């Protein structure tokens, strides 16, 4: 009897706050929650097609860079995930996942097409991460330093461009890019702290074939990132 009375009291309370039914009340809570948790856009409404093209290109390149970084860390975790270095790589990967998720939201919100090179990034990024991780922690950290240095330099270039254009107009976007830039610099410094610069010594004792492969992959990565970020200032949109 006591349990039945408690259930009846709960039902009366739910009807008092939500006359239709408890189900409708839960639905209202879901709607309110989704509205309250919705993030505001970091982009101002574009003034013209030229500004829209500039912002679209900027976001497209940022999204591609974060996607590639995610695939590299995925490759590293596939090799070193169960070692002592695993938690360190996972921590940096979790931050990159957050970056990518945010850019996915922004691209979807503003209907920006991702780069057509994502399939290439998918395979090449994972392969680069896995191959460098095969050299051990030092190889993975050397890869991290090279990647994060390129991405942080790219973010700095974007910050300078937006500051010269109109810092007040792009306040939210600048704040987002600076936050992500700081994360990339942190990853870069973490790599240096974990013996990234000793990778050449490790490679000396590793197989010659693996050394050549990793060296070529790192050179390719540096060239590709430089070329890819360069086209941000051109009329070409991959």
How many secondary structure helices (H) and strands (E) does the chain include? 9, 0
Confirm or deny that 154 is annotated as ligand binding: no
Confirm or deny that 96 is annotated as ligand binding: yes
Domain ranges of the chain: 2-36, 51-233
Q: Is the pLDDT assigned to residue 28 strictly greater than 60?
A: no
Which stretches within 112-170 are classed as H helix?
118-133, 137-165
| pLDDT confidence tier of residue 165, bands split at 50, 70 and 90 | very high
Q: Is the pLDDT assigned to residue 107 strictly greater than 90?
A: yes
Whole-model pTM over 0.75 = no
182 HSE (CA, 13 A, CB side): 5
**Residue pLDDT, tens place only, 54-103:** 999 999 999 999 999 999 999 999 999 999 999 999 999 999 999 999 99
CATH number (1.20.950, 1.20.140, 1.20.1260, 1.10.3470) of 51-233 reads: 1.20.1260
Confirm or deny that 193 is annotated as ligand binding: no
User: How far is CA 173 from its chain centroid?
Assistant: 15
Coil, strand or helix at 61: helix
Confirm or deny that 91 is annotated as ligand binding: no
Confirm or deny that 187 is annotated as ligand binding: yes
Confirm or deny that 66 is annotated as ligand binding: yes
**Residue pLDDT, tens place only, 193-220:** 987 776 554 444 444 445 455 555 656 6
């Amino acid at each position: 009897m006591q349990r039945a009375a408690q259930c009846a009291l709960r039902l009366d309370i739910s009807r008092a706050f939500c006359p239709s039914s408890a189900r409708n009340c839960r639905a209202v809570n879901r709607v309110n929650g989704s509205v309250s948790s919705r993030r505001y856009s970091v982009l101002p409404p574009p003034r013209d097609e030229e500004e829209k093209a500039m912002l679209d290109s900027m976001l497209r390149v940022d999204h591609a860079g974060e996607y590639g970084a995610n695939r590299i860390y995925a490759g590293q975790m596939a090799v070193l995930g169960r070692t002592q270095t695993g938690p360190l790589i996972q921590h940096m990967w979790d931050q990159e996942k957050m970056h990518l998720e945010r850019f996915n939201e922004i691209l979807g919100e503003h209907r920006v097409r991702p780069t057509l090179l994502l399939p290439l990034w998918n395979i090449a990024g994972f392969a680069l991460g896995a191959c460098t991780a095969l050299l051990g922690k030092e190889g993975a950290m050397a890869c991290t330093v090279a990647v994060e240095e390129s991405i942080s330099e790219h973010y700095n270039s974007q910050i300078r461009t937006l500051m010269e254009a109109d810092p007040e107009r792009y306040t939210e976007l600048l704040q987002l890019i600076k936050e992500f830039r700081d994360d990339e610099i942190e990853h870069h410094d973490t790599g240096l702290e974990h013996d990234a610069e000793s990778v050449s010594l490790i490679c000396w004792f590793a197989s010659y074939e693996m050394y050549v492969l990793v060296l070529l992959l790192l050179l390719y990565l540096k060239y590709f990132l430089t070329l890819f970020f360069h086209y941000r200032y051109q009329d070409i949109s991959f």
